[in-house]
A and B are shown apart, each in its own frame.
Chain A
């Protein structure tokens, strides 16, 4: 069968959602941000939330998310997205509000805001892109940098004696009574991306059902910051990040209900 006979609109099984704009993303080739942007755009489209969704993007590579996903956005100062999202959702409880934060942003300068937003159980979804470094500024060590990981500020690898221990934010927020759904996902392969999409969908649903804060970490690569090819970065992540950041649901409950281990 000729390719031309297959390539017809009625045979299309996968394509770009209309919620993604035609702007070429500024992200480096192979960057996980692109995949997660796509998932959020697809879900907002499929769930009919374009008019309802407000994204809050703080400082980090994803600060330009408003260029790519055609919904309402609000910028926030570094780390402050959960505080800004709190204000937005309290004034507009009928909206679907989410933050989209890097690990430098969420785990370091924004540690207070995320902990308290989760502890208050604000009705927001937090999308947490954990690539283990400060991507936008040149690959410096972040709180999430794993032990012995080489970064531009730990050229000999993270030394816990000197630099302290890597911080598992997702494990921390799972302990808080305000969170309902807390999970750690990844997006390096087709099955992982599909699973990640289901997790984000569940997070969105929980927010719409006003169950409290949903928190979806995506263990990610920053191949330019890590100084690897995208394919190599995925392998490195599977080998080195996944043992420290195991994937899976950490909490699936309702606000103020005890943590379930199922």
Chain B
């Protein structure tokens, strides 16, 4: 069992749907939503929130700094 649990919050309106976070997440947490934001971009969201470790890799690669990462010890 994981010793840490994470979660991310995506700034939906700032997201440009570049998919770099989706690609980089080692746990396959993220996907692009089928809905779009007001600019027409498919935004990133946590499709599998249970497996997020809060490693912050997604936040680090995001060119638009849309992702805030949280982590707790469990």
Contacts and interface: CB of A to CB of B under 8 A. Distances in A.
A33 interface: yes
Contacts of B18: 29-30, 230
B63 A189 contact: no
B12 interface: no
Interface string A177-192: 0000000000111100
A91 interface: no
Interface size class of B (residues with CB under 8 A): 20 to 34
Given A30-B19, A30-B20, A231-B20, A14 B63 contact: no
A33 B46 CA distance: 25
A7 B70 contact: yes
Chain B contact surface mostly: mixed
A12 B24 contact: no
Secondary structure class of chain A's binding surface, majority of residues: mixed
A214 interface: no
Interface bin, chain A: 35 or more
Given A190-B57, A231-B20, A24 B64 contact: yes
Contacts of A24: 13-14, 64
Most buried by A among B57, B65, B67: B65
Contact of A14 (B23, B69, B72): B69
Interface in A14-31: 14-16, 20, 24-25, 27-31
Contact of B65 (A6, A16, A33, A230): A16
Interface of B: 5-7, 9, 13-14, 16-20, 23-24, 41, 46, 49, 54-57, 59-65, 67-72, 74
